[in-house]
Amino acid sequence: MENKLQKQMTSRHIMMLALGGAIGAGLFKGSGEAIGIAGPSVILAFLLGGLVLFIVMNGLGRLVLSRDNAHGLSGIIKPFLGERTADFIDWLYWSLWMVNIIAEAVAAASFMQLWFPNVPSWVFVLALAFLTTLINLYSVRLFAETEYWLAFIKIAVIIILIIFSAYLVGHEIFKIGFLDTFARMNSHGGFAPHGLKGLVNSLLVVIYSYGGSELIAITVSEAEDPKTAIPKAIKGVMGRIIAFYIVPMTLLLIIYRWDALAATTASPFVMVFQKMHIPFATDIVNFVIVLALFSSINSGVYASSRTLYFRVRENTGFTSKLAVLNKHQVPQRAVLFCTGTLYLGVVLSYFLGNQLFNYLVGSLSYSVLLTWLLISVAAFVLALRKGKNSERFFSGLVILVLGLIFIGILMNNPIGVTIFTAGLYLVIFFSYRKKQTDPLTEQA
């Protein structure tokens, strides 16, 4: 048996993986929170976040094309930022997904309890962990197909929402006129009721919502033709990601007053489905939210297990045992170790309650932003070496914007979350040990 990861992901898998990573529960459930923070100006926040994501992802595509046999984020950025930074981004990205899968598994369980209120949440988390483990252990092809169809369902629901919302907007225009219909967006405080501060604060939710797109860099070792598939996926997915956020958000803000969308405890999607008299609207959207959360957990196990595999496969001692491939060329022990954190999360949440998860979720915005920042800095160094002024300008611009957003997070996150996250980063940074060999330049 050949002891290496198998190249079984096609362009369609990678494109849907990128879409699925960026279109999650943040859109279906979290859009109401973002609207509450910024009002109608949240449209500008999602547009700005989309432009930042576009530049980051294009930089990532250039980095992929610049390297042969690179594995994971560390293998892509190492030639530009050095071995220590490469080690840091891998463990940063691994910890990001470890935190995320725990938080989203508990969130998924809470939504499932709406249907089965008498079933303890740990039962649902256990079921999600078991199902995710099976999918990720069997083969990368099964994982890719699962994510493809989960993303397909999410996108189908968004398209249906857009069609319904466009119909409702057209109906209002016919009923009360064009200007009065669009004036609703500026009612109750204007377009930016909370001013510039509200728009900046909403960027924290926006960046977190878009986080996950960079996951496609992890597929380099298992894509059939990464030099073609990944840049193609990046180019094909960007317009769709922005459209699937900005168009629905704009239509929602035309149909409803922003404060009504912010005040609802349900998803804003439910309000549109109910207005169209769709039976079981709440249950349908609730089901899609659970699928979105499961998709994120599934992707998180994939990303974290591959990152862990690349980090430990050349180690000696106990950690090297996590880099064993099964008969399907899947790093089974790395997968089991990462899904094991779901069970740990259940135990910790039982004893510590929601406070633990408030700290963990609060630190995610830092981790997504720092991951994007390191990718952008590596792309900037690449642009400097190639001497392309346009690439230098856009990479430098996005570094500046991400730096400003980072300052916004520092000013608005609770100090306890900041200290917790800083401590985590210090542990990662100082745990680095230089290797004698460079496993990241070898064939997986």
Nearest to 253, CA basis, from 243, 268, 267, 266? 268
The share of the chain scoring above pLDDT 70, in percent, equals 82
Write the CA distances from 23 to 125, 215, 223, integer angstroms: 22, 13, 22
C-alpha 375/C-alpha 51 separation (Å) is: 15
Q: Cβ distance 158 to 248 under 8 Å?
A: yes
Q: Is the dihedral of CA 219, 221, 225, 227 positive or negative?
A: positive
- The partner residues of 325 in beta bridges, in order of sequence, read 331
Residue 1: per-residue pLDDT? 43
Q: Of the given ranges (59-63, 93-97, 206-210, 300-304), which has the lowest mean pLDDT?
A: 206-210
Residue 444: per-residue pLDDT? 41
Q: Is the dihedral of CA 374, 379, 384, 390 positive or negative?
A: negative
Indicate if the pLDDT at residue 407 is higher than 70: yes
Residue 377: per-residue pLDDT? 94
Apex CA 49: angle with CA 52 and CA 370, to 5°? Answer: 65
Indicate if the pLDDT at residue 226 is higher than 80: no
Question: What pLDDT digit, counting tens, does each position of 66-85 carry?
Answer: 876 667 788 888 889 888 88
Residue 439: per-residue pLDDT? 43
Residue 380: per-residue pLDDT? 92
Indicate if the pLDDT at residue 91 is higher than 70: yes
Residue 373: per-residue pLDDT? 92
Indicate if the pLDDT at residue 130 is higher than 90: no
229: left (phi over 0), alpha (psi -120 to 50) or beta: alpha
Nearest to 234, CA basis, from 378, 415, 417, 18? 18
Helix pair 42-66, 31-38: axis angle to 10 deg: 120
Question: Which tokens in the block code for residue 97?
Answer: 């997904």
Of residues 157 and 412, which shows the higher confidence score? 157
Residue 440: per-residue pLDDT? 42
Grade residue 442 by pLDDT with cuts at 50, 70 and 90. very low
The three-state DSSP-derived secondary structure of 59-79 is: HHHHHHHHCCCCCHHHHHHHH
Which residue is associated with the tokens 């997915």? 237
What is the average pLDDT across 184-189?
Answer: 75
Indicate if the pLDDT at residue 438 is higher than 60: no
Question: What is the DSSP secondary-structure string of 398-411?
Answer: HHHHHHHHHHHHHH
39 secondary structure, DSSP code:
G
What is the average pLDDT across 345-367?
Answer: 65
Question: What pLDDT digit, counting tens, does each position of 10-60 carry?
Answer: 667 777 776 666 676 666 666 777 888 888 888 888 888 888 888 888 888
Q: What is the pTM of this model?
A: 0.82
| Amino acid in position 235 | K
Question: What pLDDT digit, counting tens, does each position of 254-308 carry?
Answer: 888 888 887 776 677 788 888 888 888 888 888 888 888 888 888 888 888 888 8
Which residue is associated with the tokens 């045992």? 321
Indicate if the pLDDT at residue 441 is higher than 60: no
Of residues 43 and 349, which shows the higher confidence score? 43
Grade residue 378 by pLDDT with cuts at 50, 70 and 90. very high
- The partner residues of 331 in beta bridges, in order of sequence, read 325
Grade residue 161 by pLDDT with cuts at 50, 70 and 90. confident
C-alpha 428/C-alpha 261 separation (Å) is: 40
Of residues 158 and 32, which shows the higher confidence score? 158
What's the mean per-residue pLDDT of the chain?
Answer: 78
